Structures are given as structure tokens and as C-alpha cells.
């Protein structure tokens, strides 16, 4: 493989990393942005918090991805001053549901995926 082909493949198809969480609460960290899938695995309900820019300075355009691996339904919560735009709700629909948050402006996020009210 030519070096330029390999470099192009790495840039176009970066390998995803995983951040496995097993508690009932988790707050996104800067290292979760873009090519990381946060997996949430607990039998009880889980609260997943999007922190304000003053705590974690995600760049506009950052993508946060997560998946409910266990039976505990995940609810996305907005940190202080954070706005999350969504429809129809802020919860994962079922076990193995996944969703993404895209930062559209400082402290403003769009939630989409397999979510419910």
C-alpha cells in the first residue's frame, strides 16, 4: 500500500474508540468528542449530562455519540446554560438504542437518533 493511500484511509475512515460507562450518571468529557462511542450499561436508569462550555469547551461542530447497552434507559440532561434541541424526547427508546449530539453553537446541541419522549 502506498503511503498516501494509507494516510487517506486513516483520515477518511478513522477507527472509533469506545468509552464504556457502567454507572447511573455520566457527564461527557472532551475526549468523548467525534470518534468515540460512549456505551452506557446499567440495569437502572442512567442520566447522561451535556456540560456547559465553561466546564468542557467542545468546539462547535463536535459530535457526541452514545448507546444504551444495558436495560437502564438513558436520559440526556442539559448542564447549566446548555440548550438541547430534540424531538420527540430526551430518552433512548430501548436497549441497544443509539443517538448523537451535534454542537450547533456554543452551549447549543441537536439530539437525534433512536430517542423517545
Q: Please answer whether residues 113 and 99 qualify as being in contact, where contact means their C-beta atoms are separated by less than 8 angstroms.
A: yes
Write out the three cell numbers for 113: 437518533
- Helices (H) and strands (E) in the chain — how many of each? 1, 11
Going residue by residue through the chain, which has 117 residues, state the pLDDT in tens, using 9 for 90 and above.
455 554 555 556 668 899 999 999 999 999 999 999 999 999 999 999 999 999 999 999 999 999 999 999 999 999 999 999 999 999 999 999 999 999 999 999 999 999 999
| Phi, psi (deg, nearest 5) at residue 7 | -60, -40
Write out the three cell numbers for 44: 437502572
Predicted local distance difference test score (pLDDT) of residue 15:
84
Amino acid at each position: 500500500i502506498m503511503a498516501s493511500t494509507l494516510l487517506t484511509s486513516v483520515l477518511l475512515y478513522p477507527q472509533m474508540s469506545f468509552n464504556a460507562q457502567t454507572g447511573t450518571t455520566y457527564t461527557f468529557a472532551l475526549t468523548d468528542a467525534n470518534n468515540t462511542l460512549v456505551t452506557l450499561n446499567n440495569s437502572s436508569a442512567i442520566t447522561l449530562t451535556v456540560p456547559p462550555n465553561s466546564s468542557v469547551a467542545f468546539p462547535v461542530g463536535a459530535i457526541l455519540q452514545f448507546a444504551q447497552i444495558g436495560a437502564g434507559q438513558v436520559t440526556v440532561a442539559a448542564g447549566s446554560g446548555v440548550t438541547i434541541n430534540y424531538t420527540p424526547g430526551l430518552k433512548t427508546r430501548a436497549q441497544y438504542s443509539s443517538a448523537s449530539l451535534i454542537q450547533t453553537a456554543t452551549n447549543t446541541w441537536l439530539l437525534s437518533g433512536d430517542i423517545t419522549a
